Amino acid sequence: MAGRIASLGRNVAVVLLGAGTVSAADTPPAKCPGQDYPTSARVEYVQECMQQSGADIGNLYKCSCAIDWIAKQVTYDDFVEWATYAHNASMAGERGGVFRDTDQARDDAKHYRDLEKEAYGACGLKPPK
């Protein structure tokens, strides 16, 4: 009987520990710089970086380093805005004008290109084209 009670006690302890782990996993982390970037945005950035830099395992780590470095420098909202202007500045015609013809568009695209160049340098990647 005593062995059965001890076994039951261990099972309860395991369940309680597991419940503590689940509740800790459900708790959002403290607000840290760079933690507001969604995982999907980070994955997309790494995939684009690897497409430019080469699809080998070394570049996987370097491209991951680059997005982590960027996330520590600017908010996600600024990153999205700047990247939008930089990526669409070469769009032809009137539709592309909003991405290249205003001072804000030029400034934001330049901020993005400078930021990315610094991130690539910090992480051992060749500067982006």
For position 105, what pLDDT does the model report? 83
Residue 128 is given by DSSP the state P
Contact 50, 60 (CB under 8 A): yes
As a whole number of angstroms, the distance between CA 84 and CA 2 comes to 68
Rounded to the nearest angstrom, the gap between the alpha carbon of residue 6 and the centroid of all alpha carbons in its chain is: 47
For position 26, what pLDDT does the model report? 47
pTM of full prediction above 0.75: no
For position 98, what pLDDT does the model report? 64
For position 120, what pLDDT does the model report? 96
As a whole number of angstroms, the distance between CA 51 and CA 80 comes to 19
pLDDT by residue for the chain (129 residues), tens only, comes to 555 555 544 444 443 344 444 444 444 444 555 578 999 999 999 999 999 998 899 999 999 999 999 999 999 999 999 999 888 777 777 766 666 667 788 889 899 999 999 999 999 999 887
For position 90, what pLDDT does the model report? 74
For position 18, what pLDDT does the model report? 46
Is the Cα torsion angle 15, 16, 17, 20 positive or negative in sign?
positive
Q: Domain ranges in the chain?
A: 1-30, 32-122
